[in-house]
Amino acid sequence: MLQERLAEAARVAVHFNYINICNQILNFLQRIRQTTQKTYIWMEYSKAELLVKVSGNNIDPKTGVRLNMNQIRQQEIERRIEALEIVEKTMNTNRRLNDPDLIYEGAVLTWNLGLPFINEMLKDYVYEPFLAVCDLLEEIQSTDHALRVRLHLELAKIDLKENLKKKAEEHVSRALRLDYSVPLDSLSRAPLKGDNPADY
């Protein structure tokens, strides 16, 4: 359908930082009375990514005073949290539609949005989105094992921090069941003498 192609085009536009083009497409699609589920999902992905790619208002609407660096940083965090919430909600629609390409796109977007929160005191915001993505990638039997392993390991770290050892063990176990070795010919350097190829 044309609307689905347009929604995909918006994703391509935001990916290459053509923000104005993406906004124009989204504005057009939002005027359509009834969009398909696929169109809706592509649109929500783009909206979420725009929240982190486009800066918020640098002026406090209540006081009219310019925000300081701490306030701008807090605004960026809030916008990223909102973006994660949008994608997490959209992934529930994905489960019903069961389109592997859309699920994988959402999984990569979730990982990229959550990545800045991994090394901060904000891990709680990524736990539920990462968990939902892990389950969906398993359901579609995604071959991107490296992404799946990273998600499981981050979830295990959060569980350990909360002293939930059983849950952490389960995520580590699920990660170990995946083959995430790297083909030798894709290494940036040749293996050193004495290296075990099985380590790659």
Q: Could you read off the pLDDT of 29-65 as tens digits, one per residue?
A: 999 989 999 999 999 999 999 999 988 778 777 777 8
- Regarding whether 177 and 98 lie in a shared domain, the answer is yes
1 inside domain = yes
196 pLDDT more than 80: no
* Same domain flag for 156 and 90: yes
pLDDT for position 200: 47
Query: By CB neighbour count within 10 A (0-12 exposed, 13-18 middle, 19+ buried), where does 1 fall?
Result: exposed
Residue numbers of the domain that contains 104: 73-181
Coil, helix or strand for 194? coil
pTM: 0.84
- State whether 118 and 176 are in the same domain: yes
- Report the pLDDT averaged over residues 94-107: 92
Tens digit of each residue's pLDDT (9 = 90 or more) over 60-87: 777 778 888 888 888 899 999 999 999 9
Task: Please give the Cα distance from 19 to 22 (Å, whole number).
Answer: 5
| 97 and 144 both lie in a single domain | yes
Structure tokens at 135: 């389950």
Question: Mean pLDDT in the chain?
Answer: 88
Domain count, the chain: 2
Q: What is the pLDDT of residue 72?
A: 81
Q: Which amino acid would we find at residue 200?
A: Y
80 and 9 within one domain: no
Same domain for 77 and 30: no
Residues 84 and 142 in one domain: yes
CATH number at residue 175: 1.25.40
Asked, for residue 186, whether it belongs to a domain, the answer is no
**Residue 66, beta-bridge partner list:** 59
* Cα 79 from Cα 52, distance rounded (Å): 6
Helix (H, G, I), strand (E, B) or coil at 66: strand
Q: Based on the fold, state whether residues 77 and 171 are members of the same structural domain.
A: yes
Task: Determine phi and psi for 143, rounding to 5 degrees.
Answer: -90, 0
Looking at the fold, whether 89 and 120 belong to one and the same domain comes out as yes
Query: What pLDDT was estimated at residue 55?
Result: 82
Both 5 and 98 in one domain: the answer is no
Residue 185: HSE in the Cβ half-sphere, 13 Å Cα cutoff: 0
143-193 pLDDT, tens digit each: 999 999 999 999 999 998 888 899 999 999 999 888 766 665 665 666 666
**171-198 burial string, b = 16+ CB within 10 Å, else e?**
bbebbeebeeeeeeeeeeeeeeeeeeee
177 shares a domain with 89: yes
pLDDT of 8 reads 95
